[in-house]
């Protein structure tokens, strides 16, 4: 696993993970309601797995879908288990897998909902829960609600912190790109700036089309204006980088001065007027565009009319969704039958692992399966060693808090680390439920079997899924770059920026899908095309078009 610098560790998320998992268990220990607290902790466990660093409205939506879908799944699985019919359990799992597969490739929120519906069914049909049938789903929902509360609570005092950080990152990366101009790292620095602008565009998407009354709110209006200026800054910086000549510090520091002017710190003194861009910077089209932006920031109090929408995403077609649905359902059914044959009742780990691993929209299936196995082995070893040293319920709760924090860090940085934390926490929760079976070796075997089942099914029936997606996305991105080339010379500033944003967004998405395809094993005797070369050529074409457009826009101006 990669080493994580302390400055990059998501310490707030780690604290939320520790509190969300330990608090229900602590309440259960103090009140004697151990089983309800464990079920709530399972909900918190799944909530932590979906607690991201997105804007608060996105977190609420994703965690809300996680809670509702997992509670519904738990209810369905529990009712099937209480019926006493093994066929009812199998039918419930198959139905949940069909739903999860049908929605699994239709976007992040839908995919999360489908996966947790299936996870809820596996737990509900595998772990008997005492009490009335309606109580466990509410307990599970309460655990997810606790994570939602902890994750969204900072909205009360730093409402737009995520959006502000994303926009500021654009200005910092623009300064780095200008500092790298004329060097070998200039193209990569420009690419990092574009990725930061793409991320800011995604984070700000909910505000860019907001009604006028929302834009009149000082903080929202400030952010929207800063983002629009960042878009114009990105164009000027791209033109300067394309000119391939070193720039003086007075020019490279302009983006940071712009950020200070547009997004001052709360309660800070008003930022001074922007310094004039020196003549050495204004002697080129890119420099003149940068100077004009500085003047506009000082003179124009409002937004400049720029309206940008995110490009529509291209999801897999009906045939791909149908194939995934059939494969996921088949894997879940076979995993359930294997679990019944190997372990009898309560063999939920096999189908649960299939639900976690078989998510081609979350990354390469092969890598995900490998990391799942590694994380499980290390997690089993870690909790086994800890269990020999810990005694007493409060010490166990502290152990859960530690592994919950590790899981929260892993969710953002490495799937194997997330699996390590999840595996260790689940062992403790099962022990609190009174399941004293020797499960260390069983969990490793089940994880390996489920991962092997997914890999065999996926690569035997659908070996080209990632490559086909990469091919289609690369073609779409190259088409967007050519469209920008063809239309930009005659387009106005607003239309030109929209074309440019669309092209760079699609090129970044193409790089992501290509990296996904490279992470999957290639078919024997078949090499993948040089998609990266086509993407790089298209990026350079966009850079050239941007430089030419800026030169045309500033031609003849004093």
**Mean pLDDT of the region 252-275:** 76
Average pLDDT (267-285) is 61
In this prediction, residues 429-435 reach a mean pLDDT of 76
Q: Is 355:120 a contact under the CB 8 Å cutoff?
A: no
CB atoms within 10 A of CB 142: 18
DSSP assigned state of 125: T
Q: What is the mean pLDDT of residues 325-332?
A: 94
Under 8 Å CB-to-CB from 146, ≥6 apart: which residues? 20, 23, 24, 40, 43, 44, 47
% the chain with pLDDT above 70: 88
CA atoms within 13 A on the CB side of 105: 22
For the stretch 213-230, pLDDT in tens is 555 677 788 888 899 999
For 61-73, give the DSSP string: HHHHHHHHHHHHH
Distance CA 510, CA 475 (A): 9
Question: Cα separation of 116 and 122, whole Å?
Answer: 10
How much is the average pLDDT of 384-394? 81
Give per-residue pLDDT as tens, 496-548.
Answer: 888 999 999 999 999 999 999 988 887 766 778 889 999 999 999 999 999 98
Whether the pLDDT of residue 443 is over 80: the answer is yes
Tens digits of residue pLDDT in 162-187: 899 999 999 999 999 999 998 999 99
Of the two residues 8 and 509, the one the predictor is more confident about is 509
Residues contacting 490, CB < 8 A, separation 6+ = none
Distance CA 308, CA 35 (A): 51
Q: What is the DSSP letter of 521?
A: P
Please give the torsion angle defined by the CA atoms of residues 532, 534, 535 and 539, in that order, rounded to the nearest 10 degrees: 130
**Residue 8 pLDDT > 60, yes or no?**
yes
Checking 357-360 for CB contacts under 8 A at 24+ apart, the result is 357/450, 357/451, 357/454, 358/327, 358/328, 358/331, 358/454, 358/458, 359/104, 359/111, 359/115, 360/105, 360/324, 360/458, 360/465, 360/466
Tokens 């019919």 sit on residue:
85
How much is the pLDDT for 307?
65
Residue predicted with more confidence, 196 or 440? 196
| Residue 300 pLDDT level (bands cut at 50, 70, 90) | low
pLDDT at 219: 78
What pLDDT score was predicted for residue 299? 64
DSSP state of 391: -
Residues 254/280, Cβ–Cβ less than 8 Å: no
Question: Which position has the token pair 């200070």?
Answer: 260
**Contact status, residue 163 vs residue 207, Cβ threshold 8 Å:** yes
Of 392, 398, 461, nearest to 424 (Cα)?
398
Q: What's the confidence (pLDDT) of residue 282?
A: 56
pLDDT attached to residue 329:
95
Q: Do 66 and 43 meet the contact criterion of CB atoms below 8 Å apart?
A: no
> What string of DSSP letters covers 264-324?
PPTTPPPPPPPPPPPHHHHTSHHHHHHHHHHHHHHH--S--S----PPPP----HHHHHHH
pLDDT given at position 278: 60
| Residue 189 exposure: Cα atoms within 13 Å on the Cβ side | 23
User: What's the whole-number mean pLDDT along residues 97-122?
Assistant: 92
Q: Report the pLDDT averaged over residues 95-116.
A: 91
CA–CA gap between residue 333 and residue 340 (Å, rounded) = 11
Cα–Cα distances (Å) from 505 to 139, 205, 296, in that order, read: 41, 13, 26
Residue 64 CA, distance from chain mean position: 16
Which among 164, 68, 37 is positioned nearest to 429, based on CA atoms? 37
111-125, 443-457, 463-477: least confident range: 463-477
pTM for this prediction: 0.88
pLDDT confidence of 7, banded at 50, 70, 90? very low
Confidence of residue 200 (pLDDT cuts 50, 70, 90): very high
Q: Please state, rounded to an integer, the average pLDDT across all residues of the chain.
A: 86
Q: Are 205 and 146 in contact (CB under 8 A)?
A: no
Least confident of 75-79, 220-224, 343-347, 406-410: 343-347
- Which position has the higher pLDDT, 361 or 372? 372
Q: Is pLDDT above 80 for 297?
A: no
Looking at residue 3, its pLDDT comes to: 42
């Amino acid at each position: 696993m990669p080493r994580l610098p302390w400055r990059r560790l998501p310490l707030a998320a780690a604290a939320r993970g520790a509190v969300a998992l330990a608090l229900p268990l602590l309440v259960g220990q103090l009140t004697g309601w151990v089983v309800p607290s464990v079920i709530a902790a399972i909900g918190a466990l799944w909530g932590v797995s979906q607690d991201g660093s997105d804007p608060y409205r996105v977190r609420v939506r994703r965690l809300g879908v996680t809670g509702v879908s997992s509670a519904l799944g738990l209810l369905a699985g529990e009712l099937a288990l209480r019926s006493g019919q093994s066929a009812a359990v199998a039918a419930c799992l198959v139905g949940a897998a069909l739903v999860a597969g049908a929605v699994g490739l239709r976007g992040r929120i839908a995919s999360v909902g489908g996966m947790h519906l299936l996870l809820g069914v596996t737990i509900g049909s595998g772990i008997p829960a005492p009490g009335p049938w309606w109580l466990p789903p509410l307990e599970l929902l309460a655990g997810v609600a606790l994570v939602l509360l902890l994750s969204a609570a900072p909205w009360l005092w730093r409402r737009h912190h995520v959006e502000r950080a994303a926009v500021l990152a654009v200005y910092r990366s623009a300064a780095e790109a200008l500092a790298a101009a004329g060097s070998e790292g200039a193209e990569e620095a420009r690419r990092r700036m574009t990725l930061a602008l793409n991320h800011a565009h995604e984070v700000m998407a909910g505000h860019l089309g907001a009604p006028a009354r929302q834009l009149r709110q000082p903080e929202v209006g400030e952010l929207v204006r800063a983002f629009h200026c960042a878009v114009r800054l990105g164009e000027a910086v791209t033109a300067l980088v394309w000119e391939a000549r070193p720039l003086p510090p007075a020019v490279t520091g302009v983006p940071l001065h712009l950020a200070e002017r547009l997004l001052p710190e709360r309660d800070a003194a008003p930022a001074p007027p922007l310094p004039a861009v020196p003549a050495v910077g204004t002697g080129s089209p890119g420099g003149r565009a940068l100077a004009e932006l500085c003047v506009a920031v000082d003179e124009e109090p409002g937004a400049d009319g720029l309206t940008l929408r995110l490009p529509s995403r291209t999801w897999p077609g009906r045939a791909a969704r149908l194939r995934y649905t059939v494969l996921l359902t088949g894997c879940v059914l076979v995993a359930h039958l294997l679990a019944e044959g190997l372990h009898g009742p309560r063999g939920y780990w096999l189908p649960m692992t299939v639900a976690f691993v078989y998510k081609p929209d979350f990354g390469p299936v092969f890598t995900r399966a490998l990391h799942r196995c590694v994380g499980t082995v290390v997690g089993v070893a870690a909790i086994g060693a800890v269990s020999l040293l810990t005694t007493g319920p409060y010490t166990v709760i502290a152990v859960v808090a530690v592994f919950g924090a590790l899981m929260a860090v892993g969710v953002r940085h490495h799937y194997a680390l997330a699996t390590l934390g999840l595996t260790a926490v689940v062992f403790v929760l099962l022990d609190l439920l009174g399941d004293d079976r020797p499960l260390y070796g069983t969990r490793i075997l089940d994880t390996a079997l489920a991962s092997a089942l997914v890999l065999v099914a996926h690569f035997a029936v659908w070996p080209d899924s990632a490559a086909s997606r990469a091919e289609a996305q690369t073609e779409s991105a190259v088409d967007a770059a050519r469209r920008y080339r063809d239309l930009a010379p005659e387009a106005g500033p607003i239309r030109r920026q929209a074309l440019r944003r669309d092209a760079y967004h699609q090129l970044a998405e193409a790089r992501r899908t290509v990296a996904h395809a490279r992470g999957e094993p290639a078919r024997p005797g078949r090499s993948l095309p040089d998609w990266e070369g086509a993407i790089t050529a298209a990026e350079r074409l966009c850079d050239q078009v941007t430089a030419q457009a800026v030169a045309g826009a500033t031609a003849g101006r004093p």
